[in-house]
Amino acid sequence: MSGSPTRFAPAAAILATEGLSYALVLPHLPVVVGESASWWAVGVLLAGYSVCQYLALGPISRAARRFGVPIVTSACLLGTSVGMVMTAVSTNYWILLGGRVIDGLSAGTVVLVTAAHLRMLSTGKWTKALGRLAAVRGASILTGIIVASAVGLRVSDPRTALQTTAWVGAVLPLIAIVFAARLGGARLGGAVDPQRMGPRTRRRMFRHIGAQSAQSALLVIAPALALVLATQTVSFLAPAAAIVGLGLGQLVLAPRTDQWEHWRTLGAFGLLIASFTALAAPLVGIAMFGVVVGASAPTAQSRLLQSRINEGSDDLEANALAGKSAIVGQIIGPITSFGALSISPTAAVVTVGALGGTALVRTRDH
What is the rounded distance in angstroms from the CA atom of residue 309 to the CA atom of residue 90? Answer: 44
What is the rounded distance in angstroms from the CA atom of residue 181 to the CA atom of residue 360? Answer: 38
pLDDT less than 50: residues of the chain: 1-2, 186, 191-192, 366
Give per-residue pLDDT as tens, 14-66. 999 999 998 898 878 877 887 777 767 777 787 788 889 889 988 998 898 88
What is the rounded distance in angstroms from the CA atom of residue 165 to the CA atom of residue 99? Answer: 14
DSSP state of 186: S
Helix, strand or coil, per DSSP, at residue 77 = helix
**Spatial CA neighbour of 36 closest among 105, 92, 108, 110:** 92
| 8 Å CB contact between 285 and 225 | no
Amino acid letter, 152: G
Distance from the Cα of residue 128 to its chain's centroid: 16
Does this model's pTM top 0.85? My answer is no
Cβ neighbours for 258, distance < 8 A, ≥ 6 positions apart: 124, 127, 299, 302
Residue 363, pLDDT score: 55
Domains and CATH numbers, the chain: 5-180 (1.20.1250.20), 199-360 (1.20.1250.20)
For residue 92, how many other CB atoms are within 10 A of its CB? Answer: 11
Residue 14, pLDDT score: 94
